[in-house]
């Protein structure tokens, strides 16, 4: 074998070896990190005083599901309007 053919063979071999080394992809990022970030965003969202109060009233009435959602929506709407109506129904139920 001539020197030129040996150099060509070595160059070809080195290209094949380095090509496979660089062909490997980086490990994908853990999906749990993305889920954790999304969950952290949801749990760290601050609730307003009106929302908490309406939830307490819904708990006291034992509301669940659609009835609870409807009650809370109306309660928060009334609370934002500035009326004292959300406190009155809770007091009326205790009699």
Residue 67 lies in a domain: yes
Mean pLDDT of 11-20: 75
Q: How many domains does the chain have?
A: 1
- Measured CA to CA, the distance from residue 36 to residue 42 in angstroms comes to 10
Question: Mean pLDDT, the chain, as a whole number?
Answer: 75
The tokens for 79 are 């609370």
What pLDDT sits at residue 95? 46
Instruction: List the domain range (segments joined by +) for residue 71.
Output: 47-81
Residue 35 lies in a domain: no
Residue 9 lies in a domain: no
Residue 36 lies in a domain: no
Residue 51 lies in a domain: yes
Residue 75 has pLDDT above 60, yes or no: yes
Residue 70 lies in a domain: yes
The tokens for 68 are 């609870």
Compare 44 and 82 and report the one with higher pLDDT: 82
Q: Which residues contact 51 (CB under 8 A, 6 or more apart)?
A: 72, 76
- Measured CA to CA, the distance from residue 77 to residue 36 in angstroms comes to 32
Residue 72 lies in a domain: yes
């Amino acid at each position: 074998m001539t020197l030129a053919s040996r150099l060509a063979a070595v160059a070809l071999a080195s290209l094949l070896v380095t090509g496979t080394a660089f062909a490997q992809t980086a490990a994908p990022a853990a999906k749990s990190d993305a889920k954790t970030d999304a969950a952290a965003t949801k749990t760290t969202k601050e609730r307003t005083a009106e929302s908490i109060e309406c939830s307490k009233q819904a708990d006291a009435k034992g509301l669940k599901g659609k009835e609870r959602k409807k009650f809370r929506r109306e309660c928060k709407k009334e609370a934002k309007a500035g009326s004292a109506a959300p406190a009155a129904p809770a007091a009326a139920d205790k009699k």
